[in-house]
Structure formats: structure tokens, C-alpha cells
Amino acid sequence: MSKIEFSKDEKAIIVRKLQMYFNEELDQDLGQFDAEFLLDFFSEEVGAYYYNRGLYDARSVLEDKLETITEAIYEIEKPASFVK
């Protein structure tokens, strides 16, 4: 897996959300540098878990759709005198 990286704009939004969370929920100020450091930590240490969960969820959706397509193909299959 490649390193999880965010664009400058994405990083700014996430850092601001971290700062707001710390302020509102923990009643603590979180500086810009500390918020970026925390984001980097989560990206490196926890990000893979979220990434993998996203892959598992995507695979599940794809498998469900493929099952639906397979069923639709069997529904339009014409009877024939030979067996597959």
C-alpha cells in the first residue's frame, strides 16, 4: 500500500476538524503543528485500517452487484437441448 497523502486543501480541512474536535469535545486548544502531527500519526498508524475497511466494503458491494448481474443473465438464458 502506498503512503496515505492528502492534498493541501484536504489536509487543511482535516486539521481544522481536529482542532474543532479538541476544542469542543476536550476543551483543549490544538495548534496547527500539533494537529498536523496528529493527522500524520493517524495516517501512518491507523489509516491502513480505514483504507482496508473501505476496500472490504467496496468488494462487498461489487460482489452483490455481480450476483445480481449473474441472476439476470440466467433469467434471459434460452432453453437448449445440450447441457453446459
Calculate ∠ Cα 46-47-48, nearest 5°: 95
Predicted model pTM = 0.71
Summarize pLDDT for 6-65 with one digit per residue, the tens: 999 999 999 999 999 999 999 999 999 999 999 999 999 999 999 999 999 999 999 999
84 pLDDT above the threshold of 80 = no
The residue among 51, 37, 38 whose CA lies nearest residue 4 is 51
